[in-house]
Amino acid sequence: MLSILTSCAQVETKSKVSIQSSEFSFLVDAEKAQALKSIIDKEMIYIEGIAEEDFKAEIKSLVAAILVVDYKKNNCSIGQIACSTQSHINTLFINDYFFMVPSSEQFTSFLHEAWHLKSTNFEHTKCLKQPEWGYECDDDINSPYGIEYKYLLHKYMHTKDDNIAQLLLKIRSRLNNF
Ligand SMILES: [Zn+2]
């Protein structure tokens, strides 16, 4: 059960969002906090319905790795919608672009950054399929792009949603061995 507490008196509001046993602090305004809450809320319903207990536990433990979501217009590099850093091991940074992509992509970027935070591994490798992308791919399925791929594949198998299929192909191209 999600609950959200916001104070509208401040320009930047610290909102608390509880998701089952874990709680996020959202350093965002109330409107953005509400948008994030609805994204996570919807995905958590899907996650709770995952029959494969190991996979469900893996996803839930990743979501629990994020304790703070910090939104500022200029967070993260150009081309990124979300990012994380070794110096803030529980924080997901998001920017304006985050709110411009479909909700499935928002949530998988959440899982991607959570994987970085939980593993404290912030490295990627060179893209073999698209060398011009530089060092923003992974070799292993146990990786940030790997978890995005596994989650999207699971969702596609259960929903047959075309938008998820498109995103799945996009993420698949970030995995050198798939
Ligand atoms: Zn990454």
- Report the separation in Å between the CA atom of 146 and the middle of ligand 1, taken as the mean of its atom positions: 11
The answer on 95 and 8 residing in a single domain is yes
- Report the separation in Å between the CA atom of 7 and the middle of ligand 1, taken as the mean of its atom positions: 32
Our count of domains for the chain comes to 2
Domain span including residue 63? 2-101
pLDDT above 80 for 176: yes
Distance of CA 72 to the CA centre of its chain: 16
The answer on 149 and 83 residing in a single domain is no
pLDDT of residue 16: 62
Mean predicted confidence (pLDDT) in 120-144? 93
Please answer whether residues 27 and 131 qualify as being in contact, where contact means their C-beta atoms are separated by less than 8 angstroms. Answer: no
The answer on 45 and 131 residing in a single domain is no
Q: Using N-to-C axis directions, what is the helix angle for 53-63 and 103-119, rounded to 10°?
A: 80
Mean predicted confidence (pLDDT) in 90-119? 93
The answer on 28 and 70 residing in a single domain is yes
Convert the pLDDT of each residue in 15-52 to its tens digit.
665 554 456 677 777 788 888 888 888 999 999 999 99
Structure tokens belonging to residue 65:
């790795």
The answer on 144 and 64 residing in a single domain is no
The answer on 168 and 132 residing in a single domain is yes
- Residue 30 resides in a domain: yes
- Report the separation in Å between the CA atom of 47 and the middle of ligand 1, taken as the mean of its atom positions: 22
pLDDT of residue 166: 95
Please answer whether residues 59 and 16 qualify as being in contact, where contact means their C-beta atoms are separated by less than 8 angstroms. Answer: no
pLDDT of residue 7: 33
The answer on 68 and 17 residing in a single domain is yes
Q: Using N-to-C axis directions, what is the helix angle for 144-159 and 103-119, rounded to 10°?
A: 140
The CA distance from 62 to 150, in Å, is: 13
| Domain boundary, last residue among 101, 131, 158 | 101
- Residue 159 resides in a domain: yes
The CA distance from 27 to 30, in Å, is: 9
Q: How many helices and strands (H and E) does the chain possess? A: 5, 6
The answer on 22 and 80 residing in a single domain is yes
- Residue 154 resides in a domain: yes
The answer on 92 and 20 residing in a single domain is yes
The answer on 95 and 7 residing in a single domain is yes
- Residue 114 resides in a domain: no
Percent residues over pLDDT 70 in the chain: 87
Please answer whether residues 92 and 44 qualify as being in contact, where contact means their C-beta atoms are separated by less than 8 angstroms. Answer: no
- Report the separation in Å between the CA atom of 5 and the middle of ligand 1, taken as the mean of its atom positions: 30
The answer on 128 and 94 residing in a single domain is no
Question: Which residues place a Cβ less than 5 A from the ion ligand 1?
Answer: 144
- Mean pLDDT of the chain, nearest integer: 86
- Residue 12 resides in a domain: yes
- Report the separation in Å between the CA atom of 125 and the middle of ligand 1, taken as the mean of its atom positions: 10
